[in-house]
Amino acid sequence: MKHYPSPIIFDRIGGPMKSAAFSSLLCIVAVAAFASIYLGCEDTGTTDTPVENSSVNFVNFDSVSPGVKSGDFLAVSGVTFTTGQIPDGVAVNDTITLSNPADQIEILSNDDAISSPNFAVALVIVGSEDILMSFDGPVNFVSLYSDDNPAENPDIIRLLALEPTGKANEFIVMKIDTAFDDAHDSLHVDNYLSVASDKPFSDALFQTLTEAEGFDNLTFTYSR
């Protein structure tokens, strides 16, 4: 993310999955008349498709005015946000702690948005703060799109699936998807990050390492 508020010109929602998503074709969900049965879904920790489409929520941040928001400003949509910081180096099964948590997030409005006019960014928009997303029920799929700035250097960004340990702000990393933040193409293919798990999780985190990066079109699927 290089610049901040400017006029909004285009609107696009959604987009295709990464090619890695095709690996998920190996995961077969057999849905019987009265029951769903998972068959052979491996925990690859990479991009995947929803394991079960029981209830999909979509948040595009476009119904509010830009500015700093309380982390629960979209609680009615099933998700709350916390700005904070986790260690840069993470791996599946790591135990991590979110430091300096702040129950706030910022909404920006410019043409970096995937869906016009708005997108979300961590509270301190010039740093490498991360954004914790806490869902109001167990989910097994989360996806989002990084901001669509046409002129920035590539920096690593990640989306993590997390499960709380029970200690304050402490989580176990269940899944990780990694991308670069300079993605910019008409279909937003490379802006896409997703994590999926047949074991439900309650939190996700959008991680930046070097500079702020926005995100848009957050999607999560309840496992219940």
| Footprint of Ca ion (CB under 5 A) | 60-62, 113, 115, 118, 128, 130, 146-147, 149, 152-153, 155, 181, 216
Residue closer to Ca ion by CB (options 113, 176) is 113
Nearest CA-CA partner of 220 in 52, 85, 36, 19: 52
Residue closer to Ca ion by CB (options 111, 155) is 155
CB of 113 to Ca ion, least distance (A): 5
Q: How many helices (H) and strands (E) does the chain have?
A: 0, 14
Would you call 29 exposed, middle or buried from its count of C-beta atoms within 10 A (0-12, 13-18, 19+)? middle
Q: Return the biggest CA–CA distance within the chain.
A: 51
The residue nearest Ca ion at its CB is 115
CB of 134 to Ca ion, least distance (A): 17
CB of 184 to Ca ion, least distance (A): 7
Residue closer to Ca ion by CB (options 41, 159) is 159
Residue closer to Ca ion by CB (options 9, 28) is 9
Query: Do residues 8 and 110 lie in contact, with contact meaning Cβ atoms separated by under 8 Å?
Result: yes
CB of 22 to Ca ion, least distance (A): 24
Residue closer to Ca ion by CB (options 51, 121) is 121
10 Å Cβ neighbour count for 206?
A: 25
19 contact partners, CB below 8 Å, separation of at least 6: none
CB of 68 to Ca ion, least distance (A): 17
